[in-house]
Structure 1
């Protein structure tokens, strides 16, 4: 049940304490994939889990701008700083909790959001009348996680399954030609790069020519199953602050 699609009177009668908050990013995804990729992916996995889950779940509107300054040199990328992002996410979770949806899974589609989401959900659990945890979908796809990259085969596959019209398949060869095979510029265990332009010519990491709708369907199922299992675990936690 998506909040923005319902009336307040219909939402008032819902009998659930579970909420999903999709969070993505508006950032470059190479010459072949849209800047909304991370948001689209988070949305579709949240929607799929809400439909597959055995009980009702509230789905909040997506947050489309995250911590993405590492892509700032690519046109169209938007970003916010960590403290603004954290406060905004916390306010949304507090709003959900005020209506009784006080067990929230934040469905994340962007790697740059991960540290901030871990920090803010800990803050929420400790100090607010809510229980919230982050779920980053590409960390829940088993052996495929190691192939994540950026705008590479994993993200492109999920788009080819869920939004095929958004992928410029005629640009995949060029996308691969300008891609890096690894995120970062590494000296031993230290990443020397701050921005993605330091190691990828066109913003791509990985070979998107390896993508397929079939792989995308497998990824969608794996992430959805993991999210449904997480909802089972989250729903019974105490939402009282631990101060």
Structure 2
């Protein structure tokens, strides 16, 4: 059940304790992919995972509205990128999770599409679970699927968007994106990343070659991410207080 498409009486009558909260980012994804890649992906995976879990269990989770701005200052040199501080992000997402719990949806999975959000989500979910009347867990989809060449705006993210919204991929800019891409994230010395911002190591804003990301790969990744999310929902549903 999509919360933002439902009425308050629908929410009142929902027979579930499970909720998913998609969280993404509005940030550069090269010259070929939209700024909303992380939000579009998180939302699609949350919906697909909820549908899969509902089909298997008969319990239909609530899917909350997508939070579209995250911790993304590392992309600030590229136009259109939006960001908030870690403190603001943690507070906003935590309080949103707590408001879901106040209505009885007290088993919450935060479905994350942006790497910069991961540590803050882990921390805020721990705080909710330790101090509140709910249990919360973070799910970052690219940590759950088996794909080595993830990158940033590379083959994986390009593939998923090509599957979900093919009209948003600028095919005429793929060569520019790929030719200006970095092979890996950051500038590493002695286990330390010396680069704080992405423009320090990638000219196009891309890591990995997006020309390798087709719709078939995107469909496979989305299906795998939804399957893993369904497993997590099953485990979260079993958690006791």
| TM-score using structure 2 length | 0.97
Q: Please, which of 153, 163, 166 is the counterpart of residue 165 of structure 2? A: 163
| Paired position in structure 2 for 1:27 | 27
Confirm whether residue 113 of structure 1 aligns to residue 117 of structure 2: yes
Q: Secondary structure at the match of 1:106?
A: strand
Alpha-carbon RMSD: 0.8
Cα shift at 1:51:
1.6
Q: Secondary structure at the match of 1:25?
A: coil
Q: Distance in 1 between matches of 2:11 and 2:184?
A: 45
Q: Distance in 1 between matches of 2:11 and 2:191?
A: 49
Q: Distance in 1 between matches of 2:163 and 2:128?
A: 34
Confirm whether residue 84 of structure 1 aligns to residue 88 of structure 2: yes
Cα shift at 1:181:
0.5
Q: Mean Cα displacement is larger for which, 230-239 or 99-108?
A: 230-239
Confirm whether residue 43 of structure 1 aligns to residue 43 of structure 2: yes
Q: Secondary structure at the match of 1:30?
A: coil
Q: Distance in 2 between matches of 1:39 and 1:10?
A: 25
Q: Please, which of 207, 210, 217 is the counterpart of residue 208 of structure 1? A: 210
Cα shift at 1:11:
1.5
Q: Distance in 2 between matches of 1:153 and 1:98?
A: 40
Cα shift at 1:188:
2.9
Contact 2:108–2:137 under 8 Å retained in 1: yes
Cα shift at 1:202:
1.3
Q: Secondary structure at the match of 2:42?
A: helix
Superposed structure 1 runs of 4+ greater than 4 Å apart: none
Matches within 5 A, 1:130-145: 130-142=134-146, 144=147
List runs of 5+ in structure 1 lacking aligned partners: none
Residue deviations 1:49-100 (CA, integer Å, cap 9, x gap): 1222232110000100000000001111000011110011110011000111
Q: Distance in 1 between matches of 2:114 and 2:172?
A: 25
Q: Distance in 2 between matches of 1:96 and 1:238?
A: 17
Q: Distance in 1 between matches of 2:120 and 2:193?
A: 19
| TM-score using structure 1 length | 0.96
| Paired position in structure 1 for 2:183 | 181
Q: Secondary structure at the match of 1:104?
A: strand
Q: Secondary structure at the match of 1:147?
A: coil
